[in-house]
Amino acid sequence: MAVKVDKATCTGCATCVSACPVEAIKITAEKAEVNEDTCIDCGTCVDECPVQALSL
């Protein structure tokens, strides 16, 4: 699994980067990018994203 990013909605704010406990998210070309091998599906970033760009 791993979180999915709706790149059309993502603003690149990086809130999710700070929120992720395992540093699975980075910003590439102003969009969030999830490392599928690192993500533990905890859902923290989904709750923290201000524009609901993330989903499990």
CA angle, residues 26, 30, 36, in degrees to nearest 5:
30
Query: Would you count residue 22 as binding ligand SF4 (CB under 6 A)?
Result: yes
CB of 14 to ligand SF4, least distance (A): 5
Select the residue interacting with ligand SF4 from 8, 10, 28, 36 (CB under 6 A): 10
The Cα–Cα gap between 42 and 12 comes to 20
**Contact residues for ligand SF4, defined by CB under 6 A:** 3, 5, 10-16, 19-20, 22, 24-25, 32, 34, 39-45, 49, 51, 53-54
